[in-house]
Amino acid sequence: MKEKIIQVFREFKEQRVLVVGDVMLDAYYFGRVDRISPEAPVPVVNVSAKDRRGGGAANVAVNIHNLGAEVHICSIIGNDREGQYLKHIFERAGIHTDGLIMDPERQTTVKTRVIGNNQQILRVDEEDLDALGRNIEIKILDYVKSRLYETDVVVLQDYNKGVLSKYVIQRIISACQDADVPVVVDPKKENFFAYKGVTLFKPNRKELREGLKTDEDLQDKRSVEKALLELNEKIDANQIMVTLSEDGTAIFSEGTTQFIPAHPRKVIDVSGAGDSVISVAALCVALNLSPAMTAELSNLAGGLVCEKVGVVPIDADLLLTEAVEVIP
């Protein structure tokens, strides 16, 4: 198995990936909390460091690039400094930005997190959630179609920020099916059932529960299996992989659900874990790996980034080392 896993990581570097979805800029203030404000019962953070990173679909693109693949990003940014900084992040990482479309009618999404004593204290969101204009949607679709014959897998990363409308989703899936390119999806509840016929669909437990509008808490294997069967009847995906936090991952394929347990972790921050999971899953799908191997590697990736503060992309060498050690 060790040699097989090493070969998989080598082949990751040969893949060409197109990421389509909501990009955002993640801004951070890091510091210490030693007192409560005299003005209001809130902590005072003495800031010692600041940082800005790619979030959302941007983080997925960076994750996949870190695993060695060639990445093109297709999304919307505003005509603002934040959008230009996101473009700079992509270019610095070696991610292709020819599909990054500037929309002067929108602002670039920014999430600002305040971290005190290694714990998130506050998040401030700046965003525009209005629907895209049809002319912008057409630009997205034209770009996606132009790339498909040089793409091994398409990732649809949905954060309900407007890029992936039903119109765009359905037309991208149709174009990918015509070009025989697999599609993997990280959904949100707004268009949960619009992703019919995709290759791999990856909600987390909360998204699965909300999407199905079920009263089940999905805390046991039987209820998860039932939910995945119900979901498959609605979206008919080749594979459905649901992340279950401390309970690991479940993957459904060909009528059967396999459960992959979580590995012991010192969880510090779960931000960005889903991005790492879908990034690894996309490359596994591109290589046509088994559902079990896809779930194993994706599960490890999500767990590793939870040991870091903030949204942090996966370290490919660290993931490979752990995969070789723990995957039977």
Q: Which burial class, exposed, middle or buried, applies to 167 when counting CB atoms under 10 A from its CB (0-12, 13-18, 19+)?
A: middle
Strands 43-56 and 110-116: unpaired
Rounded to whole angstroms, the Cα distance separating 135 from 140 reads: 9
Contact 58, 76 (CB under 8 A): no
The greatest distance separating any two alpha carbons of the chain, rounded to the nearest whole angstrom, comes to: 63
Burial environment of residue 36 by CB neighbours within 10 A (0 to 12, 13 to 18, 19 or more) = exposed
- Which of 51, 178, 275, 315 is an active site residue? 275
Q: Cβ(193)–Cβ(211) under 8 Å? A: yes
Token pair 């752990």 in the structure block, residue: 322
- Give the number of C-alpha atoms closer than 13 A to the C-alpha of residue 230, restricted to the C-beta side: 14
β pairing state of 110-116 and 119-126: antiparallel
Contact present, 60 and 23 (Cβ < 8 Å): no
> Is 128 a catalytic site residue?
no
Question: Quick one: which of 272, 285, 196, 287 has its CA closest to 233?
Answer: 196
Distance, in Å, from the CA atom of 299 to the CA atom of 295, rounded to the nearest integer, reads: 6
What type of residue is 286?
A
Q: Which two tokens stand for residue 324?
A: 């070789």
What residues have CB less than 8 Å from 50, skipping those under 6 apart?
A: 27, 28, 29, 30
Residue 16, CA distances (Å) to 220, 254, 283 in order: 37, 27, 9
**Known catalytic residues?**
275
